Structure 1
Amino acid sequence: MNCEKQPLLNGELKSMKKLVLFSCVGGNCGKLNQFLCSLLICIPTFSYGNSIGWMSPMTLLLQSQESPRETPLTDLEISWMASLPYIACVPGTYLMAFIGDKFGRKNACLFMSAVGTIIWILKLCSLNFWVFVVARTLVGITMAGSCVTCPTYIREISEDSIRGALGCWPSLFTAIGSLFAYIIGDLLSYNANLWIFTCIPALHFVVFLMMPESPSYLVRNGEMEKATNNLSWLRRHKTTDATIKQELDVIMKEQKKDEENKQLMLKNIVSDKILFKAFQISLMAALSRELCGAVPVLNFAGDIFNLASKEGTGLVISPNQQAMMLGVVQLCGTMLASSVVEKSGRKNLLLVTTLISGVSMCLIASWFLIRDYNIHSSAWVPVITLCLCIFCDAAGLMPLSVVITGEIFSYKYRGSVLATTMAIASVADFFQLLFFKPLANSVGVYAAFYFFGLMCLLTSLYVIVVVPETKNRPLEDIYDDLRPAKGRVNIEQRHVI
């Protein structure tokens, strides 16, 4: 049978056809398969969200007298379980980048689901603390894949017009996964939770075998026929369509330019002024999320809510309900991000969210400072600013740090840069969790929040002055904006960097 006439009946693409028997409607007919593939790519991030959300209700259970263990876990043991994924994520980012570059984005995604399944099986098999340690360490790998593999994979299978919206999906599904864990953790038994969480990555592994590999990876490995077939399925066009050839030409030009430069990636990034500036932007975007205050805010949310209830507001919320509330706020933020990122642009959304985060952090810092002087102030101020911080983190800072990096680097650098920035961000997270409370107790919590507010406001200034808009723009246009004004060229002279 002729491959060009029947691309969907070739090899693994036969299975894909079974998943798209339903009809498409509206103007997104040609994008249906991209939505389907992106949805399945994000299931491992949903499972990762389950792992993060699991800690909230299960910590209360495992430290209570009703614990399924013979002896409840101590505060120190819980602290290690909470922080271990952030340390494991550092080598995990490079592991996932290596697997994605060497064996393909699809296999890296399958590896994430395999690890995700093992995490829950370990917890099902034993209640020993050291088994928990191993399982929580493995969460660092799924965390790394959620920030490196999944966004890169989505970027490489989606077309420009929906690339930003789909790029926000990993953050959206992480938030949904966390909220799902909060809810069923409050409703179901310990073992029922584990069985549900085990089935999700296990079923995903089986279904995802039918999905296509990234065309960029296939082109890099010289599998042009398969790349053409995969791209035609993703775009719902015939393999002979001119748009398919144009996209493949762009991918080949990008990778040809990468192959011409034989320097080591790190050395090349440091020595090339444009690449180094792009790396600085990526690192700034990653660190802005960690320095906005979201991580310590999430860890100390219970204290703030408890304080608010003591001030006579009538706001009495259980720890699980607090987690659910923050989960809903996160979900609303990520939904907003995926719906407006293509309309507002990356730069504008990042600017607005950093500004609001900066103002909210300064407000909550001022509230703590005023309280230290025994001046009465509304107990709703920390609650509102807390929600604003989490909302802005989910709506802009968290997803855009990945989207922007995916758009300002070519295939050769994309995975490694995401891995490096994620590793640095993970170290920042670990130290914040380790030292925030002691420093806040010795210096004053208001000083910490003023620091976060200042970092957000400085990031806003950096976005205005340095960060280019990447929405619907080819790589050569973005890099031309990063050149000094005197070094820029006319559009007719531009070439792929």
Structure 2
Amino acid sequence: MSAAGGDKYQYLAAISVNIISISYGAFCGWPSSSFLELAAENSPLETGPLSPKDQGWVASNICLGGLFGTFLFTWLADKIGRKWSLMWMALPNLLGWVIIPFARNPMHLIIARFIGGAAGGGCFTVIPIYISELASDNIRGTLGVFLVLTCNFGVVLAFILGYYFNYAQVSWIVSSLSFVFVGCFWFMPETPQYLAKTNKVEEAEHSLRYYRNIKSNPAKELSEELQLELQQLKTTEKPAGDADDDDAEATGVTWADFAKGKTRKAFLIGFGLISFNQLCGCFAMLNYTAVIFEQAGSSLKPTIAAIIVGGIQLVGTYLSTLLVDKLGRKLLLLVSAVGIGLGQSAMGIYSYLQVTGYHVASFSWVPIAGFSFMLLLAAVGLLSLPFLVISEIMPQKIRSTAIMLLMSVLWLISTCVIKLMPVFTATLGMHGTVFMFASLSFSAAVFIAIFVPETKGKTVEAILASL
């Protein structure tokens, strides 16, 4: 059996489930061009042009929706399964898009963004769990990065559609992805681990055979590795007398589970990665794309600049999918953090020299080069891999709860950094703000070098043993 043949249904599942990530990515990219239309004098809103304050609320409310979705869909993932939790995400994802064309005031847009953000919270919480529970060790990294790759593809899609269509037409076009997602993902089985945990071992075996592309007949077709996987599923089965305790099993995580030495260290590593994912400033600085290009004397329209930036992120994330199972997670994270810091340092030096009166006109390419280099390296590692790593290092019992808590931290930090960005630039200046982010990026590199384990090709048990 070829590796390609054995893995094809895992790739199919990863592509199908991430169709909804494309839609959420488009939701993230939608404000870039739409705000230009909504803030214009001839704004279609009945309340008139969208003010900067309202733009801030409309843009950042997706993070609050993400926080809500993180709790809701993680709870559903343990109650009704990974598959059906993901299927239900299509509803808020669709509603978020459908409300936008009918919006008559900023509050309608804020509600739409909150609802769409809830679907995003579910995506970044449940999809990593789903992938980690079905993927073979040798391709788990590649499949795990699909989440960020498809999300970035959605961002670029929104930028391109926004260049050719108005904000309402973009909403109708992208809303169709919800139906495509349901149509494709409907046929995927539940993950083997979840089925085994809920005392459905026969279904779990069929699921494992499906994802490993093995006929459901003789056991002699199975390699030793797959026989071991099946045996592990069977040992996950609860005795018949404990069937009534299914609900307690799903929600029976206690603080004592987090207090175990290895588990506590795994959680703290995840906390550090998630925190630096936002504190490196790359996501927040995307809001300053137009400012940076204008500062460099670029004559590009903001919409074209956004498409270029989105394309850079997409290329970086694609490189990550190619390299993550070859070079490993730790090396890519380390190179990414250092690269982000170097790109930000170049931008900060240029901005500082410009503010202090030095003639830097001949170096006007530096901000764009530094910004592009920063985004490329960020997409290769620090913006894409933490979601994969935390799903790999968490023990199965606390995986859902731990990822829910860590994603809640991410949404809170993201909201705070985006809202405080104007305060930072007003008090520290653009150069001071960028230097602050650069120092945090270099701190992330130190953290990764010392604490983050390599997880490439390892089982959860082996990863925990190495901590």
Q: TM-score, with normalisation over the residues of structure 1?
A: 0.86
State the alpha-carbon separation in 2 of the partners of residues 191 and 90 from structure 1. 26
Using a 3 Å threshold, how does the CA distance of structure 1 residues 393 and 266 change in structure 2: closer, same or farther? farther
Partner of 1:485: none
State the alpha-carbon separation in 2 of the partners of residues 480 and 246 from structure 1. 19
Query: Which has the larger displacement, 27-36 or 166-175?
Result: 27-36
Match of 2:337 among 354, 360, 375: 354
State the alpha-carbon separation in 2 of the partners of residues 408 and 255 from structure 1. 22
8 Å Cα contact 2:340-2:373 kept in structure 1: yes
Using a 3 Å threshold, how does the CA distance of structure 1 residues 266 and 308 change in structure 2: closer, same or farther? farther
Match of 2:222 among 234, 242, 255: 242
Match of 1:229 among 201, 206, 226: 206
Deviations 1:419-444 (A, max 9, x none): 11111111111111111212221222
8 Å Cα contact 1:289-1:398 kept in structure 2: yes
**1:33 and 2:2 correspond:** no
**Matched letter for residue 195 of structure 1:** W
State the alpha-carbon separation in 1 of the partners of residues 318 and 108 from structure 2. 35
Match of 2:29 among 53, 78, 86: 53
Partner of 1:334: 317
8 Å Cα contact 1:255-1:410 kept in structure 2: no
**Percent sequence identity over aligned pairs:** 27
Partner of 2:86: 109
State the alpha-carbon separation in 2 of the partners of residues 390 and 109 from structure 1. 29
State the alpha-carbon separation in 2 of the partners of residues 263 and 40 from structure 1. 28
Match of 1:414 among 382, 399, 403: 399
Query: Which has the larger displacement, 121-130 or 329-338?
Result: 121-130
Query: How far did 1:269 drift?
Result: 4.4
Partner of 2:242: none
State the alpha-carbon separation in 2 of the partners of residues 416 and 40 from structure 1. 25
Query: How far did 1:476 drift?
Result: 2.1
Partner of 1:11: none
Match of 1:42 among 13, 18, 21: 18
Query: How far did 1:271 drift?
Result: 1.7
Using a 3 Å threshold, how does the CA distance of structure 1 residues 360 and 196 change in structure 2: closer, same or farther? same
Match of 1:213 among 174, 180, 190: 190
State the alpha-carbon separation in 1 of the partners of residues 295 and 448 from structure 2. 35
Query: How far did 1:338 drift?
Result: 0.5
Query: How far did 1:27 drift?
Result: 4.5
Using a 3 Å threshold, how does the CA distance of structure 1 residues 255 and 127 change in structure 2: closer, same or farther? farther
Query: How far did 1:356 drift?
Result: 0.7
State the alpha-carbon separation in 1 of the partners of residues 18 and 412 from structure 2. 24
Partner of 2:463: 478
Deviations 1:200-219 (A, max 9, x none): 11232233221111111101
**1:370 and 2:353 correspond:** yes
Using a 3 Å threshold, how does the CA distance of structure 1 residues 475 and 27 change in structure 2: closer, same or farther? closer
Match of 1:303 among 281, 285, 291: 291
| Aligned pairs, number | 451
8 Å Cα contact 2:201-2:234 kept in structure 1: no
Across the aligned residues of Structure 1 and Structure 2, the Cα RMSD in angstroms comes to 2.1
Q: What SS does the corresponding residue of 1:303 show, helix, strand or coil? A: helix
**Matched letter for residue 160 of structure 2:** I
**Matched letter for residue 424 of structure 1:** V
The 5 A counterparts of 1:66-465 are 66-70=42-46, 71-239=48-216, 240=219, 241-243=221-223, 244-251=226-233, 265-309=253-297, 315-377=298-360, 378-465=363-450
Query: How far did 1:190 drift?
Result: 3.4
Using a 3 Å threshold, how does the CA distance of structure 1 residues 373 and 320 change in structure 2: closer, same or farther? same
8 Å Cα contact 1:114-1:202 kept in structure 2: no
Deviations 1:48-83 (A, max 9, x none): 011111111111111113433342222111110001
8 Å Cα contact 2:24-2:116 kept in structure 1: yes
**Matched letter for residue 248 of structure 1:** L
Query: How far did 1:386 drift?
Result: 0.8
